[in-house]
């Protein structure tokens, strides 16, 4: 049995790709390639000035092959769709492995972009027509719009669905989770923090998520702590600490829990407290943890559609060699316990709208 192999796409002379090939291999640039490159640059500058990127991928397109290869110490992600190769230049570490790639439509101007995951590194997006900064702004606005729409709660609580998706001692002891509504595009959760968990310096270890979400403080006070990866022990005088990185697949979805992955340096970048009625937004790839400023804090988390599929792990950062224990977690509620919790919350915060139960 023979295994089919794919070779690196060959760039022809007289094209901008040919010009790039000359540069990569340090060979003299021919006149045709130089002229093609100059024309490409002129078109790029004109399109950039007009707010239009040089390439638009019209749907439907399907990636048939994806690979990463080195070029003069820079790494290229190469995608093949409908027999056509496109290369997007990215600064990636040499041990990066491309593990997933597919196309997704954006809601702005019918543009398309490729969304691919680099194993062990943050989710990267190569955008079609919209510059990265503009896209980040669009996503933030979209997130706020989704949040406004999501505040329309149903008139009646489906207690069976709530029982199916709610847990006591969720992630850690004293952290209880009641799921009011769940769907692929929008999930609404209430987190209750009681007992010793309220006095911990952090409720859970720094981690990322599979989804974007909005958190609103309902009662008490919560502190959101943000981190970012660092390659230095200190940055602008701020120290970075060494963490063990564990891949995490939740047992609630059939996962095997924690699996050691790598070491990483993290530094704290932000620490902000939120009081009742205040909301913060988080992107799926941001690293954070939370701390309870006051006892018996209650927060509402509004979870939007997955940005990372269930088959891919999230990341948890631990200061020691041992991951958090999952023993004694994920206990079930009874219907009476759910109703008692929600009744108590309604008494504490009469202005918070809950479904009828």
pLDDT tens figures, 37-60: 787 777 666 655 554 443 333 333
Distances (CA, A) of 152 to 144, 146, 281: 14, 11, 18
Closest CA to 333 of 157, 160, 156: 160
Tell whether the model's pLDDT for residue 146 goes beyond 70.
no
The more confident residue out of 352 and 104 is 352
Residue span(s) of the chain under CATH 2.60.120.10 come to 154-348
> How much is the pLDDT for 219?
93
| pLDDT confidence of residue 18 | 74
Helix axes 31-49, 16-24, angle to 10 degrees: 110
- Residue range 97-135, pLDDT digits in tens: 444 443 333 333 333 333 433 333 333 333 332 233 443
User: pLDDT class for 143, splitting at 50, 70, 90?
Assistant: low
Beta-bridge partners for 104: 113
Question: Domain spanning 154-348 has what CATH number?
Answer: 2.60.120.10
β-strands 186-193, 211-219 pairing: unpaired
Which residues are within 8 A (CB) of 326 and not within 5 positions of it... i.e. 6 or more apart?
Answer: 251, 257, 258
The SS3 of residue 102 is strand
pLDDT of residue 4: 41
Residue 118 has φ and ψ, to the nearest 5°, of -100, 115
Q: Say if pTM beats, i.e. exceeds, 0.75.
A: no
């Amino acid at each position: 049995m023979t295994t089919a192999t794919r070779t690196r796409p060959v760039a022809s002379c007289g094209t901008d790709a040919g010009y790039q090939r000359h540069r990569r291999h340090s060979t003299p640039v021919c006149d045709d390639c130089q002229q093609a490159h100059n024309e490409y640059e002129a078109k790029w500058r004109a399109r950039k000035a007009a707010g239009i990127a040089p390439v638009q991928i019209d749907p439907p397109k399907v990636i048939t092959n994806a690979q990463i290869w080195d070029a003069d110490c820079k790494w290229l992600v190469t995608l093949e769709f409908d027999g056509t190769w496109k290369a997007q230049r990215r600064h990636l570490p040499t041990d990066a492995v491309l593990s997933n790639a597919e196309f997704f439509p954006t809601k702005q101007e019918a543009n398309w972009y490729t969304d691919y995951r680099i194993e062990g590194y943050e989710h990267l997006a190569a955008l079609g027509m919209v510059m990265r900064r503009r896209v980040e702004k669009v996503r933030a606005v979209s997130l706020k719009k989704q949040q406004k729409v999501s505040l329309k709660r149903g008139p009646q609580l489906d207690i069976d669905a709530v029982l199916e998706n709610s847990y006591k001692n969720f992630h850690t002891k004293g952290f209880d989770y009641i799921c009011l509504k769940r769907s692929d595009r929008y999930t609404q959760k209430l987190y209750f923090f009681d007992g010793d968990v309220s006095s911990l310096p952090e409720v859970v270890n720094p981690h990322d998520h599979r989804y974007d979400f909005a958190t609103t403080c309902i009662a008490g006070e919560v502190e959101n702590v943000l981190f970012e990866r660092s390659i230095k022990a200190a940055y602008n005088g701020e120290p970075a600490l060494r963490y063990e990185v564990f891949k995490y697949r939740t047992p609630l979805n059939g996962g095997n829990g924690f699996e050691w992955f790598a070491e990483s340096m993290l530094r704290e970048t932000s620490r902000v407290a939120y009081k009742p009625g205040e909301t913060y937004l988080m992107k799926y790839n941001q690293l954070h943890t939370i701390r309870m400023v006051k006892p018996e804090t209650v927060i509402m988390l509004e979870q939007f559609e997955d940005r990372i599929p269930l088959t891919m792990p999230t990341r948890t950062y631990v200061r020691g060699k041992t991951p958090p224990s999952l023993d004694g977690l994920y206990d079930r509620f009874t219907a009476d316990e759910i109703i008692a919790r929600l009744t108590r919350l309604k008494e504490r915060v009469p202005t918070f709208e809950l479904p009828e139960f």
